Amino acid sequence: MSTLIDSHEIIARIAGREVEVIDASLTLDRGWAPYVQGTLTIRDPQIRGLLDPRQRPRVHLQLTRRYSASRTLGYLSTQFAGQTIAAMSAAWTGKTLGQVSALYREVWNPGGRWGSDEPLAVSSFLTGSRRRLSEPDLWEISFQGGEYPLQTRASETMRWTSQNATVRGLVNDVLARFGYTPLQPGTANATVEVDEDGEGPVWEAGVTVWDYLNPIVQAAELRLYCDENHLWQLVGDDANAAGSHDLGPEAIECEDSWSADGRFFDGAILIYEWETRNGTAKKALDTYKVGKVATYVEHIAGKLTRPGRAKRIVTRAVRRALAQTWESVADYQLRPGQKVTLPAGETGRIDSITWTYPDARMTVQVIDVTTPAP
């Protein structure tokens, strides 16, 4: 296998200010909320006033992989020495700007890849910052995606219910109440279940936006998330992303393991507690199990109108327990949900990706791995 020469760069802006990045880690994970999470170490002696998570400053990243470099101005001056503008124009006749640019690139992989891949652009919120007295110009930054504000803001109304009959409509109602952009267009949807009194899911005071919406969405076998471009998506729980990739050529290491640690469970008990409109306290259970290793238990301040979330939680936990984890050269074209081919010819679905800088590596968690028929 021939060696592919490349370079990796990152551009970061915090509250609109470009900063110097020392190192970075960025994760997109279908099983997390927020879907986007990461950390930065930056050097900037003037940025202290912008690093206040209470002001919710935005963090924007752009990661790019390049396979060639533009020539310097000195190189071009030497090439064109003594030539007239007319001669230069004649040489470029009929060529696009991209073709002209290609003529004056430093080619690292002759006969192979050149230029750059489509950059990975990420929009998120600053969630934390700290620095040490020993290195006052270095800051450690944490950031998270668009779900973060929904996890920290709660209803101030004693009882609120949406009059919308669909889950998609209910989610848009809630997003509008807090001034967020609506869902991206899509077909994934479900009917909002009501109780014997004809009342839908009740949002009680003190319950966060996310804690109200997520149980409703998951019980309907849907997934709500804010993507790397800060766009709200409502999709089927098993929805896959377009595109496929081959990890084989640049794979470095694989971890294929199974562990029944604190993150794994094969049973779930969800305990819902709420009050009816006349003040009667009620409790209901949503349960599901496929084994007897460990049980996940969660108390939910809200009404159970549609069982099914327990099954969804257990199914996902079992799938992730049997995942393969691959380390490879960073490729910013991969996304969770895409199909991937592994070095031995197996195929699977990407469930999460973590990119790290400056070592230009990525860790890809692959689920639903299948072996090709002999």
d(CA 332, CA 8): 10
d(CA 35, CA 145): 6
Residue 341 exposure: Cα atoms within 13 Å on the Cβ side: 10
pLDDT for residue 217: 93
- Do the Cβ atoms of 25 and 41 come closer than 8 Å? no
Q: Which two tokens stand for residue 261?
A: 């640690």
Which residues sit opposite 224 in a β-bridge? 234
Overall CATH class of domain 7-67+117-145: mainly beta
Q: How many CB atoms lie within 10 A of CB 222?
A: 21
Three-class HEC string of the chain: CCCCCCEEEEEEEECCEEEEEEEEEEEEECCCCCCEEEEEEEECCCCHHHCCHHHCCEEEEEEEEECEEECCHHHHHHHCCCCCHHHHHHHCCCCCHHHHHHHCEEECCCCCCCCECCCEEEEEEEEEEEEECCEEEEEEEEEECCHHHHHHCECCCCEECCCCCEHHHHHHHHHHHCCCCCCCCCCCCCECCCCCCCCCCCEECCCEHHHHHHHHHHHCCEEEEECCCCCEEEEECCCCCCCEEECHHHEEEEEECCCCCCCCCCEEEEEEEEECCCCCEEEEEEEEECCCCCEEEEEEECCCCCCCHHHHHHHHHHHHHCCEEEEEECCCCCCCCCEEECCCCCEEEEEEEEEEECCCEEEEEEEEEECCCC
Query: Measuring CA to CA, which residue among 308, 221, 296, 238 is closest to residue 266?
Result: 296
Place of tokens 């939910």: 300
Query: Measuring CA to CA, which residue among 266, 255, 262 is closest to residue 369?
Result: 255
pLDDT for residue 235: 95
Q: Which two tokens stand for residue 343?
A: 């070095």
User: In this predicted model, what pLDDT tens digit does every residue of 131-148 receive, in sequence order?
Assistant: 877 888 899 999 999 999
Place of tokens 């895409």: 338
First to last CA, the chain: 25
User: In this predicted model, what pLDDT tens digit does every residue of 186-239 receive, in sequence order?
Assistant: 999 999 887 777 777 888 888 999 999 998 998 898 999 999 999 999 999 888
d(CA 350, CA 299): 30
d(CA 206, CA 357): 39
Overall CATH class of domain 150-236: alpha beta
Helices 309-321 and 209-219, axial angle in degrees (round to 10): 90
Domain locations in the chain?
7-67+117-145, 68-107, 150-236, 244-257+325-374
pLDDT for residue 159: 79
- Do the Cβ atoms of 66 and 6 come closer than 8 Å? yes
d(CA 73, CA 88): 16
Residues whose CB falls within 8 Å of the CB of residue 87, separated by 6 or more in sequence, listed in order: none
Per-residue pLDDT tens, the chain, 374 aa: give them.
456 677 899 999 999 999 999 999 999 999 889 999 999 999 988 888 888 877 889 999 999 998 666 555 555 566 666 677 777 677 667 777 666 665 666 666 666 665 667 889 999 999 998 887 788 889 999 999 999 999 999 888 877 888 888 999 999 999 998 889 999 999 999 998 877 777 778 888 889 999 999 989 988 989 999 999 999 999 998 888 888 888 877 777 777 665 555 567 889 999 998 887 777 888 989 999 988 888 989 998 877 777 888 988 888 888 777 788 889 989 999 999 999 988 878 888 999 999 999 999 999 999 888 876 65
Length of the chain: 374
d(CA 235, CA 222): 6
What are the distances in angstroms from CA 122 to CA 20, 23, 35, 251? 17, 16, 11, 24
pLDDT for residue 109: 62
